[in-house]
Amino acid sequence: MTREEFEELVAEALDRIPPELTRLMDNVAVFVEDEPPADDPELLGLYEGTPLTERGEWYAGVLPDRITVYRGPTLRMCATREEVVAETEVTVVHEIAHHFGIDDARLHALGYG
């Protein structure tokens, strides 16, 4: 799958997020990278920033939070296009949940491991 096709899958996954949630997202940008950091080669996605639940009066004038979805590990773990679509959607939801302050333990319990 080309990078452009994968980027389209990420965009489609973002489009499936309910509008009532996307309206609440604040100061966050989503990126696609080919490979994760070398110290975590199987990482599918990464949220970097300050979750909405931790922002206070001090939160102003900061760079956007960053959600990165990694193409390489996703393609290596999935055997079919359908699996890539499903895994990409799970990864996008997982990282957006971090933006909302939901931790990994809760996400795993909800099926977004």
Average pLDDT for residues 63-80, to the nearest whole number? 96
User: What are residue 29's DSSP bridge partners?
Assistant: 66
pLDDT at 47: 95
Contact 49, 64 (CB under 8 A): yes
Residues 19-46 have pLDDT tens digits of 888 888 888 999 999 999 999 999 999 9
pLDDT at 113: 65
**Per-residue pLDDT for 104 more than 90?**
no
Residues 3-17 have pLDDT tens digits of 999 999 999 999 999
**Per-residue pLDDT for 90 more than 80?**
yes
pLDDT at 48: 95
pLDDT at 22: 87
Q: Which has more confidence, 54 or 79? A: 79
Which is nearest to 25 in space by CA: 68, 57, 65? 65
Q: Which has more confidence, 49 or 104? A: 49
Averaged pLDDT of the chain:
92
